[in-house]
Chains A and B, each alone.
Chain A
C-alpha cells in the first residue's frame, strides 16, 4: 500500500489568499508529481520533480509554484488564489526507472476559491 499524504483534504478560501498544499511520501521515491483535475474529467500534469532541487512544469500552464527541498516533501503554492483555481489537486510519486514506473497517488485536496 502506498504511503503518500496530502493536507488539507478540503480547503475553502477567499480570492487573493496565499495557499500551500502539502504532499509527503514515506516510500523514498525520487519522482513526485502534481496534477489538477476537475470533477469527472481528465488529469492535467502541472508540475513534477525528478529529485531534490529538481522541478519542472507540466503540460498545463499553472500559476502555482513548487519546491523540492527534501525527498519526501513536494509542496505546491498559489501566491494569490482565484476562483479559476477551484479544482482537485492530486499528488503522486514513483520510484522506478523507465516505462514500468508506477505512480502512487495521495487522497487529493479539493480546493474551492470563493
Chain B
C-alpha cells in the first residue's frame, strides 16, 4: 500500500524568505511519481511540480523546487522568496502501481501562511 505523510499541519514564513514543506512517502514500487499541489482559499487545486522516481536531478519550476531524497523516501517542497500569494494549503501526492492502476495517494496537507 502507498502512503504519504505530511507532518506539518501549519507553517509560517516571513515574506521573501524560503520555506520547506515536508513530505515522506512509502511504497514498495520502484517506479513512482511525486507531485505537489497548491490549494488557495478559493478551493481549486493547482499543480506545482513533479518528480519521477528515476529522475536523478531534483525538479525545479520557477520558485519551487523538490528536494528528492530517495533513500530517505522524502520529497520536500522548497519555496524560495515567499510571496503573500503563496499562502495556501499544499498537498503532496504520489502515483505508484497498485496492481497496475497507478491510483494517486494524497497527504493531509500543510497550511502555509506568509506574513509581511
A positions within 8 Å CB-CB of B: 2, 40-43, 45, 48, 58, 88, 90, 92, 98-108, 110
A43-B91 in contact (CB<8A): yes
Q: A40-B89, A105-B45 are in contact. List 14 more A-B contacts (CB 8 A).
A: A40-B109, A40-B111, A42-B108, A43-B106, A45-B103, A58-B103, A90-B44, A98-B33, A98-B95, A99-B33, A99-B52, A100-B52, A102-B50, A103-B47
B95-A88 in contact (CB<8A): no
- Does more than half of chain B's interface fall in helix, strand or loop, or is it mixed? strand
Interface residues on B, range: 20 to 34
Query: Which residue of B89, B102, B109 contacts A101 across the interface (Cβ within 8 Å)?
Result: B102
A-B contact pairs, 25 of them (CB 8 A): A42-B91, A42-B109, A48-B103, A58-B103, A88-B43, A90-B45, A92-B45, A98-B97, A99-B31, A99-B52, A99-B96, A99-B102, A100-B33, A102-B47, A102-B50, A103-B47, A103-B104, A104-B47, A105-B44, A105-B45, A105-B47, A106-B44, A107-B42, A108-B43, A110-B43
